[in-house]
Structure 1
């Protein structure tokens, strides 16, 4: 049996084989390269949405029968990404109101100031400068620390461990050690918040739901928001900036605030789809998808990147067009587990890209594209570093 496809002829596009599979074998069995574990890969847009919307495809993949095959730890209360209704609904309902568009818009001045400050620091840097370490990583890290109430001075403790947790090459022992490290850090933070709740999200969660939530539940919620809240956005800022440098006419539209570029962020999200073949689902019972019958406890993963390049989704899907009308892409997932922080992510990306290209209209890649280290070894795609000059 073949492994999941990974080979890319273009670093900005999904693995080449997914285009063929989407047409010829949209539901096909493959193996996980790191473990050899068998699972099914779904690549067609309508089928991907069908899997993600149907909770019979369980998010609780760490059942006793299958946990060791994937190296997953047992699901913990509060880690709602790995839970089904009603547990998932219970936790998500507590947080949904804290991520509304109105609440995120109230953060806009703060995010604009964070971006401006980081651009000031970047401008002072010797050239060439690494856009990832100098801009793409600190902006969302500062934002998520402000949002949750985590001291930014302690960011190294969760940034380093999250890199291990999302690595495709780390050993199980390394991942377990990293998980224990970040859990220990967040446990200390939650204990302080329990005594003296701050004004940020975790303190607010304790004030409003503290009687209903144990500390270990709050720890799991905080861990999920902390890691997801900076890793995805930072990688999207980095690789998105690189893609725009390769498409200067489209970067100019963003820089100039052209009305036709208002959908730029969603088009970049669709086109790059940096979270791909990451989410596992387990058949909780006998299920059928596209004529294929699945026995209970068989696994499925979805290629969000392949789904977002489906010609059924939009015309000419392999072309980047930031003036494209918004389409129902699945870069943030779909269904009950669709990204909770998508409003925040969109706003951060919009402010970051606009600020970057306005401050540095002559921004340029300082090395050949072939020398840019892409994150092919990580569960979240992007670039490890991005040397730029201006």
Structure 2
């Protein structure tokens, strides 16, 4: 580590501990100390070698002490399952206890399923779960197919004549955005503004300040959408929850629920589509399998979810009592981060997991988390990925990369990993004519 990096890390720790005086406020954190950034960085599509060495040698590792609390990283599969499946009497997900709300508006409150404890978590999940059953999701399939077909048409037009096209801008972000807007029931005229607000949501390069600021904007937008639909509910998720539970849910609570759906269903699916496209373009077998039969499509998608695991770190857990994890004692009050990416590469889960193998039998991966905080929209995400990648592989069987992996710009420090642009050619004839 260079002198500048060391100084920056030490200053970051000093600022964090200074924040503790009078109460912790993560909004004031301007950057993440390097000691805590290990699970948020990668080498291309792979975890840093340092992370995997940590997993092999210390699968439950104390990274630092901040605010007088230990901060731990869990990277082993078995220990990760143990923490994620832990009960509410042992672990808290309540991030709000570390974010000051003094003088802040309703849009800046912390909430959502991933950062809420029972009984509130139980109540909110009870509202959402019926909307994400396979029966209800099946009604979305025709709409998803129409969205994908429309975006593929636009992609073909953009790549006409052998032009290189950016899969991120033209397809990977466009499809999930249209799907999530349809799901929530947002009017078309509101979507351009909503799109602007989502970009910075998961960026931690400015510490907590940037991410919390972006969260406030999206929450405010969705709270206003709830207010507008309360008198005249739309035909999406917001309207359905207002119709069925409007008397039980105030605007702020329902806006927070909608924000959680957006949080889990937009950026994550966009990153999966972009990085998944790269692996399909560089792995002919994966493309052939996507074009063959539904069972093969499922297999490819599950391996992509395991291998890419774009949600790098599960929501933080805070120990409510002394607890032993993987033979290590974690003290009450300590914070625990679970590296989902590292856990999904753990040899305990299977052999050869550093490689992307579309023929691999599906594993019990943790891409959607585990336990009571497992992603409620997991099946919708799978449906979206299956549909999008199958139709992409069928429409452009000769899809190829127009840049090497080393030339791609990946996110440097983000809770959801992704690539800024993905230049491709749509057919082999494009390469000849370019």
**1:4–1:30: 8 Å Cα contact kept in structure 2?**
no
User: Structure 1 311/347 Cα, relative in aligned 2: closer, same or farther at 3 Å?
Assistant: same
Query: Does residue 58 of structure 1 match 2:92?
Result: yes
Query: How many Å apart are 1:134 and its aligned residue?
Result: 0.5
The structure 1 residue matched to 2:252, chosen from 210, 216, 220, is 216
The structure 2 residue matched to 1:365, chosen from 401, 413, 423, is 401
Q: Distance in 1 between matches of 2:40 and 2:198?
A: 25
Query: How many Å apart are 1:30 and its aligned residue?
Result: 1.4
The structure 2 residue matched to 1:128, chosen from 164, 167, 182, is 164
Q: Distance in 2 between matches of 1:342 and 1:83?
A: 18
**2:164–2:402: 8 Å Cα contact kept in structure 1?**
yes
Q: Rg bigger for which structure?
A: 2
Query: Does residue 85 of structure 1 match 2:118?
Result: yes
The structure 2 residue matched to 1:164, chosen from 197, 200, 203, is 200
Aligned residue number for residue 180 of structure 1: 216
**1:262–1:323: 8 Å Cα contact kept in structure 2?**
no
The structure 2 residue matched to 1:381, chosen from 394, 414, 417, is 417
**1:99–1:341: 8 Å Cα contact kept in structure 2?**
yes
Task: Report Cα offsets for 1:61-86 as digits up to 9, x if no partner.
Answer: 332xx447xxxx99948522211111
User: Structure 1 192/260 Cα, relative in aligned 2: closer, same or farther at 3 Å?
Assistant: closer
The structure 1 residue matched to 2:178, chosen from 133, 142, 149, is 142
Q: Distance in 2 between matches of 1:24 and 1:200?
A: 48
The structure 1 residue matched to 2:144, chosen from 98, 111, 116, is 111
Which stretches in structure 2 are left out of the alignment for 5+ residues? Answer: 1-33, 427-434
**1:139–1:234: 8 Å Cα contact kept in structure 2?**
yes
Aligned residue number for residue 79 of structure 2: 47
Query: How many Å apart are 1:156 and its aligned residue?
Result: 3.3
Query: Does residue 313 of structure 1 match 2:346?
Result: no
**2:411–2:419: 8 Å Cα contact kept in structure 1?**
yes
Query: Does residue 24 of structure 1 match 2:47?
Result: no
User: Structure 1 9/53 Cα, relative in aligned 2: closer, same or farther at 3 Å?
Assistant: closer
Query: How many Å apart are 1:242 and its aligned residue?
Result: 0.4
TM-score by length of 2: 0.82
**1:157–1:182: 8 Å Cα contact kept in structure 2?**
no
Which stretches in structure 1 are left out of the alignment for 5+ residues? Answer: none
Aligned residue number for residue 16 of structure 2: none
Query: How many Å apart are 1:10 and its aligned residue?
Result: 4.4
Task: Report Cα offsets for 1:291-329 as digits up to 9, x if no partner.
Answer: 222222110000111111111112221222222222111
Query: How many Å apart are 1:365 and its aligned residue?
Result: 1.0
Q: Distance in 2 between matches of 1:267 and 1:174?
A: 32
Q: Distance in 2 between matches of 1:363 and 1:202?
A: 38
Q: Distance in 2 between matches of 1:37 and 1:135?
A: 43
Query: How many Å apart are 1:189 and its aligned residue?
Result: 0.7
Query: Does residue 99 of structure 1 match 2:132?
Result: yes
Task: Report Cα offsets for 1:205-236 as digits up to 9, x if no partner.
Answer: 01111111111101111111123211110110
**1:158–1:182: 8 Å Cα contact kept in structure 2?**
yes
Aligned residue number for residue 27 of structure 2: none
Aligned residue number for residue 9 of structure 2: none
Task: Report Cα offsets for 1:132-165 as digits up to 9, x if no partner.
Answer: 1101111111111111101244233233322222
Task: Report Cα offsets for 1:29-81 as digits up to 9, x if no partner.
Answer: 11499x99951000111110110111322101332xx447xxxx999485222
